[in-house]
Structure 1
């Protein structure tokens, strides 16, 4: 049975409610989410504000990470100090120091 749009929106909104903070990493964050986390250059974890889901898609506000030169390949998601999981992202190569901007989103496809 296919999920209705209302169900998809409800599931996407629930997913968004689980955490709003993200960290940026130069390689896999590992089981604790803290390995290879960016440092220096004014880096800090960033928080998003989630909108309301539409058609099973929820999108957050843009995150801006200020970083030193390097390649950033992963992100991790947090709820306060609780690590929720990580994502292998498209590599962002920064040279010289600058910013990595990301707009987080999630799509509930009915099979998660």
Structure 2
């Protein structure tokens, strides 16, 4: 599925043009900061597999006022490079390629005395 052109931005990473888009309005779960901010990236010339990036921060427009940094073009470029290194082929057809930038969750141990 191709990204909508409206609201998307173009970025060139290592000589290849991509288009990326962050949802302007958060989903319900993002608005409550229950889920992190996500954005999508696709190849401009031959859109195939969409890259879906899950960040480690809340959506900038969350409803409860948590501090959030904006998604910068440098962040998008780094995510594209990481996904390409991980096997993402942006011009091949297929389902979305998911890149999760959150740190692995720590296991919580409880001690009972």
TM-score tier, shorter chain, comes to: 0.3 to 0.5
TM-score, length basis structure 2: 0.33
Larger strand fraction of residues:
1
Larger helix fraction of residues:
2
TM-score, length basis structure 1: 0.33
Indicate the structure (1 or 2) with the bigger Cα radius of gyration. Answer: 2
